Homo-oligomer: A and B are copies of this chain.
Amino acid sequence: MGAMENKDQSLLTRTAVIEMILSGTWVQDHLSEALKPYKLSIAQFNVLRILRGQKGKPASLACVNDKMIHKMSNTTRLVDKLLKKGLVDRIICPNNRRMIELTITSEGLELLKELDVVIDKTEEQLMSNLTPNEVNALVELLQKLKE
């Protein structure tokens, strides 16, 4: 393997790394733009979706945190904001008073129903330059990458 090929390869690698950062922020920028009229951050939106996914079964903070896209140190304060907006309920778990039980309120569910449409459309637009096969290939590459 010559020096030239090494250089090409490391340039490609660097390009890939930069493209991944750019693509990640690109996606997030568009999503948070779509959420802006609803005064929700992506993180807040995801917590709501996680709670809906529980189908009534309450979730602890740690459980929510595990399922979050951005692991953050500070889920308490994030949930505080959703509480203030009346989108979630928080009670102390009767069986284990160290834990809390989070559930989504009916207002939260209503809001999510509205957001589903908005987010679906945004996600579709974001991917509109790729064919379904290409989207599939992209997902597989990204998953393989992080295995």
Contact = CB atoms under 8 A, between A and B. Distances in A.
Interface size range of chain A in the complex: 35 or more
Interface stretch (A50-58, A84-92, A99-107, A131-139): A131-139
Interface string A64-78: 000001100000000
A23 B129 contact: no
B135 A12 contact: yes
A24 B16 CA distance: 11
A142 B16 CA distance: 9
A124 B12 CA distance: 10
Interface of A: 9-10, 12-28, 31, 69-70, 120, 123-124, 126-127, 129-130, 132, 134-139, 141-147
19 contacts: A12-B135, A12-B139, A13-B126, A16-B138, A16-B139, A17-B126, A17-B127, A20-B142, A22-B69, A22-B142, A23-B23, A23-B146, A24-B28, A25-B70, A129-B146, A130-B141, A134-B141, A137-B141, A138-B138
